[in-house]
Chain A
Amino acid sequence: MSEITYAQAIKDAMSEEMRRDPKVFLLGEDIGAYGGAFGVTRGMLEEFGPERIRDTPISEAAITGAAVGAAMTGMRPVMEIMFSDFMSIAMDQLVNQAAKARYQFGGQAAIPMVVRAPEGSGTGAAAQHSQSPESWILNVPGLKVVAPSTPRDAKGLLKSAIRDDNPVVFFEQKLLYRTKGEVPEGEYLVPLGKAEVRREGTHLSVITYGRMVARCLEAAAALAGEGIEAEVIDLRSLKPLDTEAIIGSVRKTGRALIVHESPTFAGFGGEIAATICDSEAFFHLDAPVRRLGGRDVPIPYNKNLEAAAVPTLEGILSTIRALVK
């Protein structure tokens, strides 16, 4: 085991895959000499050269479409959208092209591409650089969605995403880039579609992913002192979704709280709640399924307002206390 940052884990995943497979290459804005807006690709230009670390003009639709076309014709592109908010500019290429080419052509095409998309608030970048837009993507058949919370998962899931023959949108957590964690030495993969129990508990299941995992674990640790044992499930992959892990945990605990940073309204938490209520876990429920997500507001600039726009530690604590009362 060695301890590295989340950003380093992502870079290591890409570098290892590029060394393994000459068809893997990177494209995106300022990923070359600049090293990426968050420094994730720093040093990769020196190792792999400009042919495989391709700096692009500021043209999100062209970057995404070029990745689709390259993927259709034998390459395995890993593209970076500098901020996941900018996916909106590339939405046709993602939604109407990448996601649909295989199906509408009767299975003739495979689109093995990864869209790296840094997301989340907390950086003071305000409304157009702070969103968590996974719900936009999750409603599109044909796209897979991943949102790792630790360096270990970031590396293992990205390697799996690069080897997957489908378009995978890989949501990176901006505030986690500098966090450190242990990763195994040598080659390993984390499969898409498998959740991980981060903390076992008996009184309720907290189902979360991405940046909110650490906050939920902090809440669970604090509540243990009050005699509340919360089980924390990190989904890691949002699509495919590990429904078994969710249902199994809620059957055991009888209570569920879903926490994510993206807006609650019409958000992914609703899907998870429905997954619970459509299953036999419903008959084990001792309380209504609760959701805690972002407020129905654009992310504001002011630090205090920004923090209040997404689930807070206090909010998680009080919701759990009310749920298990």
Chain B
Amino acid sequence: MKLTREKLLDMYRKMALSRAFEETAIRLFSLGKVHGTAHFCVGEEATGTGVCAGIELQDLIYATHRGHGQSISKGMDIKRMMAEFLGKATGVCKGKGGCMHIADISAGNLGANGIVGGGIPIAVGAALSTAMQKIDRVVVCFFGDGASNQGTFHEAINLASVWKLPIVFACVNNRYGMSMSVNASMNITDISVRAASYGIPGRSVDGNDVLAVHDAAREAREHARTKGPVLLVLNTYRIMGHSKSDSGAYRKKEEVEEWKKKDPIKRFASWLVEQEVAAAEELATLDAEARSTVEDAVAFAESSPEPSLDTVEQDVYA
């Protein structure tokens, strides 16, 4: 599908922003400024950006614990996102969730989830609500290869297929569930074949090709809106460890190095230059802008107040 220059550059901007956000987050960890943990999607940026670029503004997403790229691509404010990462009162969740449980519901982001597979039934509920209220939108449910082995995945995708709900199940297959390789965690090599069990279309896509992800998401959205659920499997690779405490003992360095060569941002940049959509210098400027946006966000977050202690019991009940 042919995209406008504006759209293509916006996609590049989102990917660059996601990378800059995470590189900065890693630096903040090393400076001892972070209380908690984080799960990075370095190398997986084409999945969140490609999917969010392929759907519409009114569509909802349900994100994962490895969801910085998903949230940024859905339009989360970087300042409030960084403030949440640092646990500040100005954070998008008032410092209560951290980046593992971040949400921006008014912007259509129903939230990340700390439980692997925990969000899949909830996304199905949002799709049910969409259908019952006859709203013209779809729900995209992000989850990982690991989550596709959870009971909730099978229960939820079955329910959605029986009710023909407007939902796209977007499985980000980054090849590892914490330390366990997909080769060991399942007896199939293509996760999309699981769709056949539920009588819905399943499609496997190169998850490092943002344009392929975009096109697949666009088509899946149309199918979901008119005919019901689709399972989209975005095959990529988790370059970083599972979280901040990962020695990487379970995989070979060569494997990681091989995948680093397939960096989705560099790949998209080369394509943009080759197709004469943008000059290399222009992309370098976008990279610099992304870093500066994130630095501004860090300054905002660091100068923001801690949540006052009297908020500890706020928002348990409505």
Question: Does chain A bind chain B?
Answer: yes
Which residue from chain B places its CB closest to the CB of A240 in the assembled complex?
Answer: B317
For the complex, give the distance between the alpha carbons of A93 and B106 in Å: 22
Task: Given A59-B159, A105-B105, A106-B92, verify A93-B121 contact (CB < 8 Å).
Answer: yes
Contact A69 B123, beta carbon cutoff 8 Å: yes
Contact B318 A110, beta carbon cutoff 8 Å: yes
Query: Please, which residues of chain A bring their CB within 8 A of the CB of B152?
Result: 61-62, 65, 92-93
Instruction: Judge if A66 is at the interface, Cβ distance under 8 Å.
Output: yes
Query: Please, which residues of chain B bring their CB within 8 A of the CB of A109?
Result: 103, 105, 111
Contact A102 B133, beta carbon cutoff 8 Å: no
Contact B316 A105, beta carbon cutoff 8 Å: no
Task: Given A66-B159, A92-B152, verify A102-B129 contact (CB < 8 Å).
Answer: no
- The distance from the CB of B59 to the nearest CB of chain A, in whole angstroms, is 12
Query: Please, which residues of chain B bring their CB within 8 A of the CB of A141?
Result: 316
For the complex, give the distance between the alpha carbons of A61 and B91 in Å: 31
Task: Given A72-B110, A93-B118, A102-B318, verify A107-B94 contact (CB < 8 Å).
Answer: yes
Contact B133 A75, beta carbon cutoff 8 Å: yes
Query: Please, which residues of chain A bring their CB within 8 A of the CB of B111?
Result: 101, 104-105, 109
Interface centre among B62, B102, B120, B125 (most CB of A within 10 A): B125
Q: When the two chains form the complex, which single residue of A73, A93, A166 contacts B130, counting CB atoms closer than 8 Å?
A: A73
Contact B162 A102, beta carbon cutoff 8 Å: no
Interface centre among A54, A56, A68, A73 (most CB of B within 10 A): A73
**A50-88: which have CB < 8 Å to B?**
51, 54, 56-57, 59, 61-75, 77
Contact B132 A51, beta carbon cutoff 8 Å: yes
**B292-318: which have CB < 8 Å to A?**
314-318
For the complex, give the distance between the alpha carbons of A54 and B152 in Å: 19
Instruction: Judge if B242 is at the interface, Cβ distance under 8 Å.
Output: no
Interface centre among A63, A96, A106 (most CB of B within 10 A): A106
- The distance from the CB of A109 to the nearest CB of chain B, in whole angstroms, is 6
For the complex, give the distance between the alpha carbons of A316 and B37 in Å: 52
**B124-153: which have CB < 8 Å to A?**
124-130, 132-133, 151-152
Contact B318 A105, beta carbon cutoff 8 Å: no
Instruction: Judge if B9 is at the interface, Cβ distance under 8 Å.
Output: no
Task: Given A61-B121, A97-B115, A105-B97, verify A73-B60 contact (CB < 8 Å).
Answer: yes
Contact B126 A105, beta carbon cutoff 8 Å: no
For the complex, give the distance between the alpha carbons of A77 and B132 in Å: 12
Instruction: Judge if A265 is at the interface, Cβ distance under 8 Å.
Output: no
For the complex, give the distance between the alpha carbons of A110 and B110 in Å: 12
Query: Please, which residues of chain A bring their CB within 8 A of the CB of B110?
Result: 69, 72-73
Contact B318 A69, beta carbon cutoff 8 Å: no
For the complex, give the distance between the alpha carbons of A100 and B98 in Å: 13
Instruction: Judge if A136 is at the interface, Cβ distance under 8 Å.
Output: no
Q: When the two chains form the complex, which single residue of B102, B128, B151 contacts A69, counting CB atoms closer than 8 Å?
A: B128
Contact A67 B97, beta carbon cutoff 8 Å: no
Query: Please, which residues of chain B bring their CB within 8 A of the CB of A72?
Result: 105, 110, 122, 125-126, 129
Query: Please, which residues of chain B bring their CB within 8 A of the CB of A103?
Result: 96, 315-316
- The distance from the CB of A15 to the nearest CB of chain B, in whole angstroms, is 18
Which residue from chain B places its CB closest to the CB of A93 in the assembled complex?
Answer: B121
- The distance from the CB of A274 to the nearest CB of chain B, in whole angstroms, is 19
Task: Given A25-B132, A65-B120, verify A70-B93 contact (CB < 8 Å).
Answer: no
Contact A59 B126, beta carbon cutoff 8 Å: no
Instruction: Judge if A3 is at the interface, Cβ distance under 8 Å.
Output: no
- The distance from the CB of A240 to the nearest CB of chain B, in whole angstroms, is 9
Instruction: Judge if A142 is at the interface, Cβ distance under 8 Å.
Output: yes
Query: Please, which residues of chain B bring their CB within 8 A of the CB of A77?
Result: 125
Q: When the two chains form the complex, which single residue of A59, A63, A96, A112 contacts B118, counting CB atoms closer than 8 Å?
A: A96
Instruction: Judge if A108 is at the interface, Cβ distance under 8 Å.
Output: yes
Contact A165 B129, beta carbon cutoff 8 Å: no
Contact B155 A59, beta carbon cutoff 8 Å: yes
Query: Please, which residues of chain A bring their CB within 8 A of the CB of B93?
Result: 104-106, 108
Query: Please, which residues of chain B bring their CB within 8 A of the CB of A63?
Result: 121, 159
Instruction: Judge if B24 is at the interface, Cβ distance under 8 Å.
Output: no
Q: When the two chains form the complex, which single residue of A54, A64, A110, A165 contacts B121, counting CB atoms closer than 8 Å?
A: A64
Which residue from chain B places its CB closest to the CB of A165 in the assembled complex?
Answer: B318
- The distance from the CB of B96 to the nearest CB of chain A, in whole angstroms, is 5
Contact A61 B103, beta carbon cutoff 8 Å: no
Which residue from chain B places its CB closest to the CB of A142 in the assembled complex?
Answer: B316
- The distance from the CB of A89 to the nearest CB of chain B, in whole angstroms, is 9
Contact B132 A69, beta carbon cutoff 8 Å: no
Contact A66 B315, beta carbon cutoff 8 Å: no
Contact A59 B115, beta carbon cutoff 8 Å: no
Instruction: Judge if B50 is at the interface, Cβ distance under 8 Å.
Output: no
Q: When the two chains form the complex, which single residue of B104, B118, B156, B316 contacts A97, counting CB atoms closer than 8 Å?
A: B118
A19-54 vs B, CB cutoff 8 Å, 1 = contact: the mask equals 000000100000000000000000000000001001
- The distance from the CB of B180 to the nearest CB of chain A, in whole angstroms, is 20
Interface centre among B128, B159, B317 (most CB of A within 10 A): B317
Q: When the two chains form the complex, which single residue of B62, B124, B132 contacts A62, counting CB atoms closer than 8 Å?
A: B124
- The distance from the CB of B194 to the nearest CB of chain A, in whole angstroms, is 16
Contact A57 B158, beta carbon cutoff 8 Å: yes
- The distance from the CB of A122 to the nearest CB of chain B, in whole angstroms, is 31
- The distance from the CB of A306 to the nearest CB of chain B, in whole angstroms, is 31
Instruction: Judge if B227 is at the interface, Cβ distance under 8 Å.
Output: no
Contact A106 B132, beta carbon cutoff 8 Å: no
**17 additional A-B residue pairs with CB within 8 Å, beyond A51-B132, A142-B317:** A56-B159, A57-B158, A65-B120, A65-B121, A67-B125, A68-B125, A69-B123, A69-B129, A77-B125, A93-B152, A97-B115, A103-B316, A106-B96, A106-B97, A109-B111, A111-B318, A112-B318
CB<8 Å pairs between A and B, sample of 11: A65-B118, A69-B62, A69-B121, A72-B110, A92-B152, A97-B118, A103-B316, A105-B103, A106-B96, A109-B111, A144-B317
Enumerate chain A interface residues (CB-CB to B < 8 A). Answer: 25, 51, 54, 56-57, 59, 61-75, 77, 92-93, 96-97, 100-112, 141-142, 144, 165-166
